Structure formats: structure tokens, C-alpha cells
Structure 1
């Protein structure tokens, strides 16, 4: 079977056996990438047209009780300049974002125990009451089921919790002792059972990753069927255990984006900041590989350079919420348009492309 035939099979059945997926990921050519991208684009357009949904990213805190070995804000990084955004300031970010045209707010942070439910619930309720037409997405790491339920009842709609790698042994290499892939997957299933639209995803090219690892990532996505999938290349941080490792490949990230769009036709898929960090045109390359979401930064200017999960992170210029006009022009140049819209998930239509 040729790689083109493998892509065609995946397109037709939305699945492919592990052996052929491994071969496809390990041996794809430039022509295979172009072919997969063309199919991914056709699928995306059948669900979402050429609309690009924007999410206003608010980076709540860079304190984190976890010590994930690849991460710049891990608890073991004693040189990180820590900060927390207070709830009133978060609301001001939402006010600004709404005026700019954002209809989804993504509140992201490390696993910071300071943000108890007693602090988060009133903040979420205030956002929900003042902006009933907006979606509220949380990305605050692993919490208890009770906490997830309280935040959902307060008005949160979506929860992002990337699994980072679908290979359990690889997961242990990237995390500190006691962190297990099985636990992360349990949390995602709990979130889905509560009623959240869930988002997960993984790094491409993280240290120790193999084509077989990436096949396991795709298997997890198929099993969970998340509404959102965020992937991006691994980017090293100078204070991490993997500081000397090379970043993930852009072409492999593009290929994985296209395969995910083919497997999960109606998923909401961002062109991530990490892709734009590794390649100056990474954001555009992501969109042309099947992505349909971009998340400009709404955080206060004085903290944007502190939420550094990896080196050279783009947080101003075209990645900033204040530069939406530039973003619109960039998207128009590649035949897409930024829209003022919540950008909700569309359920799969059987028989569609």
C-alpha cells in the first residue's frame, strides 16, 4: 500500500491500522504532505468554510505545583518570575476582549492551588452574567471532580487538558514521578461526563517520541473524540531538563494536523503559538493544514513575558489581541477570514467529506 492509498483509506473510514499509520508518519514525503493537506482543507471547508475563530487567551498564573520536565513554569524552575492575575483584572481582560470582538475567553494557567473554587466560581459567574453570548474555556490542569462540577455550574463551557503524549512510558520520561498518563485520561473522561466540551492534544517532536508514540496519540484522540485538539511542536526551555534538545519539526506538525482533521472532521483545531514560534509562517502553515482556530493573547502586557512554557514564545505583535487587524490581513492573504463568533463545535454529519 502506498502512502497516498493510506491517506485515502484514512479519509474514507476515519481510521487506519496502527502498522500503516506508523509507516505513514515515519515515511511521508513532501507530496504526501501536500495531498493530506488538500484533503484536510476540503474537510474543514465542508464544516466551517474558511472562517477562523479567535479565542482571547488570558494567562491567569504561572505558579504550578507540577514539575513537568519540559515546561518553563514547572515548580522546579526557581528562576521563573512568578505572577498571578487577580479576578477583577481577569474581568477587565474580558471587557477589553469583548470590545475587540472576542466571543470566547480561554483562562489558562499552571496548577496553582491558590486559585480555589471560592476564588474561581465568582469570577466565572461574573463573566457568564456579563457576557452570556460568550463561551468560557478553562485550562487549569487537573482538579477534583467536585471542582470541575462547581466551575461548570458557574458557567464554564469548555475545558482544555492536553495529554501531551499517548505513550505511557514516554509520558513518564516527560513528567516527574507520580504523574501518569492513565490519570490524565481519567480526568478528561470525567470532564466529558460532566458536560464540558473537552480539548486535548500533544507535543510533536518531544524528546523520546517515536512514530509509534504518535500513533498512540491518534488512538487516544479517536477514543476520546474531543471537541478541540491542540498540537504544536516541542520547543525547549533553557531552564528545563530538555534544554539542549531540538524543537519539533514543522512539516511533521503540519502532517499530524492534517491527519487529525481527516480523522476528526469537525474538531476545532488551533494553529498554536508554538508553531508560530518555531516558524515565522507557522500560524499560516497550521491553518493551511486544517486548523481553524487562533488564540491571540489578552493577558495584561506586564505578565505576557512571564508565562513562558518554552523559549522565544511569541506573545506580542501578531500573537497579541491588540493586533487583530494584522491577523485579519494575514488570514485574508491565505484565503481565510477572521470572524466574530463563539466558534462552536459542529457535530459530525454522516456522509460528509
Structure 2
């Protein structure tokens, strides 16, 4: 599919035939399993100034934290004991980032029997290589928008070219490469979204997170409208057609807007869901966008999610 066709599909009055096709492609290529990933948000310290993100360095109302390696590993072991097979280590772009300390955490999690996905922003080739050698399996770095001008407006401290170069390095190093974008950004068009989808394909993404924009009141975009869940699901479905074998999550942001939309997303191509296992009160302080969060109970939360997935006729893993 090309840009024009993708934009036309996104605008359809009746998208149900595309949903059915995406669901069939998902079933044929990745089966009925839903992979449940555990996310540990180990630091909300960030040197970036992204205009939509509640963790940006200009937001002085954030209570900053950085979990110790021991805290991260204790949480990861609890998640593995609860049945999680993948641990996602996520953070802001911490100016005091040390690849050695994170690398040791990665090694220990691998010893405990889980795969490791990292999502720590733009790192150098050397840092990415070191963490890969420590055992990291996947790296998630959302490009957010494929429009260079819109990217520049949203990211005063970076360029789309730099982001894409980092993603290309991730792929060259042999990581399962993940990217993604938001639906509903101010200035975004259907053509922009089509470019986003094509960039996922160009980057050889093995996973892609597509979620609606949710404004944070303490950011420059705090008064903008939130993104459309319907358009988000359409983008997920088209991503499945472009990337038949990719892991496509139902993003947390989609569930924040509407729990029903989260369930529906599994019928349009998604096969992954991420669950926060970040300890309280760190979880509340990792506020990229506002969300009502329940207290963390790793085993209980996992069992409940498994029941919900089975109720949709899918198989939790």
C-alpha cells in the first residue's frame, strides 16, 4: 500500500471490512495468543523538552525518582514469578544514564529467565551495542510523527533525522526493533498518519505502539483535544496489514480513554498488552499523561488480565 491508499482507507465511512482483514492476517501470522508484557518505569528523570510529555524537563511539578538496581530487580523477579515472560524497562532520557548499571540489571533479568525490552530514549550506537551484548532482546523508540516539521514543533531538543538514525542503529545491531506514534497530535493529518505507517515498514519494525494523544495539563499542549480511539484502531489495523508478523500492542493510552476500546483493539490486529508493575508510589510519578491508576498487585493484576483475555476468546501468554 502507498500513502494515498492508506489515507483513503483511514477516511472510510465503514472500516469494518479492513478490521476483518486485519484480524484474519493477525490470526494467520501470529495466532490467537496475547503476549502480556510487564513494564517497570524505573526513572522519570528526563532531559528532553517534548511539548506533549508530562515528564519533560521544563515541568517543575513532577516529583522525580530513579529506582535503584535492587528495586528494579526485585520488581522484575516478582513479575517473572507471576508469569511474565518479558520485562520492559522504561525511563525518560536520564542525563545521568549509565550503561553499565543498566547492563547489569539486564544480565540479572536474563538469568531469571525473562526476555528484556528497553525503552530509554535515544542512545548512542556504543550504548546500544553494550546493552545488546548484556542480553537485551528488544528496543522500543517511538518516532511519534514522521512529519519533520511537526516533529520539530513538538521536540525542541531533537530532530526526526536523529530519531530515525537511532532506530536504524537499533535494527543494525540485531534488536527486535520497535517504534510507534500518536494519533491526534495538533497539526496531524491522515496523510501524516499514512507516512507514520510507511515509516514503520521502512524501519523493519518487529513491534509498533500506536496510541491516542492524551494532553497533560502541565505541558504546552495541555488544552488540546485527545486523540480518537477509532482512528487509533484503524491505524493499528493498517499496521497489521503492512507488518503481518509484528507484535502490535493495545497501548495503555487507548485503555485510559475507554476500556471498551481496549477490548475492541484486539479484534483489529493487536496481539500484545503491556501491564505496569512499577511499584507504588513511583507509578503515580511516571505521568506522561494523566491516568487513574490502581495500586500495584503484580500477581492479582496478572490473573485478572489473563481472565479478561480468555473472555475475549484469546490465549494469554
Q: Is the shorter-chain TM-score for this pair beyond 0.5, marking a shared fold?
A: yes
Aligned equivalents of 2:126, 2:300: Cα separation in 1: 36
Find the counterpart in structure 2 of residue 103 from structure 1. Answer: 85
Find the counterpart in structure 1 of residue 303 from structure 2. Answer: 325
| SS of alignment partner, residue 199 of structure 1 | strand
The normalised TM-score by structure 2 is: 0.96
Find the counterpart in structure 1 of residue 57 from structure 2. Answer: 75
State whether residues 318 and 327 of structure 1, in contact with CA within 8 Å, keep that contact through their aligned partners in structure 2: no
2:130 pairs with 1:154: no
2:48 pairs with 1:63: no
Give the superposition deviation at 1:319: 10
The normalised TM-score by structure 1 is: 0.87
1:292-331 correspondence runs (5 A)? 292-312=271-291, 314-316=292-294, 322-331=300-309
Aligned equivalents of 2:109, 2:27: Cα separation in 1: 32
Find the counterpart in structure 2 of residue 19 from structure 1. Answer: 4
Give the superposition deviation at 1:320: 6.3
Of 256, 260, 266, the match for 2:245: 266
State whether residues 34 and 315 of structure 2, in contact with CA within 8 Å, keep that contact through their aligned partners in structure 1: yes
Find the counterpart in structure 1 of residue 103 from structure 2. Answer: 121
1:125-136 correspondence runs (5 A)? 125-131=107-113, 134-136=114-116
2:270 pairs with 1:291: yes
Aligned equivalents of 1:47, 1:23: Cα separation in 2: 25
State whether residues 279 and 296 of structure 2, in contact with CA within 8 Å, keep that contact through their aligned partners in structure 1: no
Find the counterpart in structure 1 of residue 72 from structure 2. Answer: 90
Structure 2: tracts of 5 or more residues without a match:
none
Aligned equivalents of 1:66, 1:98: Cα separation in 2: 32
Aligned equivalents of 1:230, 1:318: Cα separation in 2: 23
Find the counterpart in structure 2 of residue 167 from structure 1. Answer: 147
Of 24, 30, 33, the match for 1:48: 30
Give the superposition deviation at 1:179: 1.0
Structure 1: tracts of 5 or more residues without a match:
1-14, 340-353
State whether residues 55 and 103 of structure 1, in contact with CA within 8 Å, keep that contact through their aligned partners in structure 2: yes
Q: Number of aligned pairs? A: 317
Find the counterpart in structure 2 of residue 12 from structure 1. Answer: none
Of 193, 205, 210, the match for 1:231: 210
Aligned equivalents of 1:94, 1:46: Cα separation in 2: 32
Give the superposition deviation at 1:317: 7.0
| SS of alignment partner, residue 282 of structure 2 | coil
Deviation track 1:296-340 (CA, whole Å, cap 9, x = no partner) reads: 11111221111010112x54379966312221222222211212x
State whether residues 280 and 296 of structure 2, in contact with CA within 8 Å, keep that contact through their aligned partners in structure 1: no
Find the counterpart in structure 1 of residue 198 from structure 2. Answer: 219
| SS of alignment partner, residue 258 of structure 1 | helix
Aligned equivalents of 1:321, 1:203: Cα separation in 2: 30
Give the superposition deviation at 1:24: 2.3
Aligned equivalents of 2:254, 2:233: Cα separation in 1: 9
Q: When you count strand as a share of all residues, which structure comes out higher?
A: 2
Aligned equivalents of 1:82, 1:293: Cα separation in 2: 29
| SS of alignment partner, residue 212 of structure 1 | helix
Find the counterpart in structure 2 of residue 195 from structure 1. Answer: 174
State whether residues 82 and 298 of structure 2, in contact with CA within 8 Å, keep that contact through their aligned partners in structure 1: no
| SS of alignment partner, residue 285 of structure 2 | coil
Aligned equivalents of 1:259, 1:18: Cα separation in 2: 12
| SS of alignment partner, residue 330 of structure 1 | helix
Aligned equivalents of 2:20, 2:293: Cα separation in 1: 30
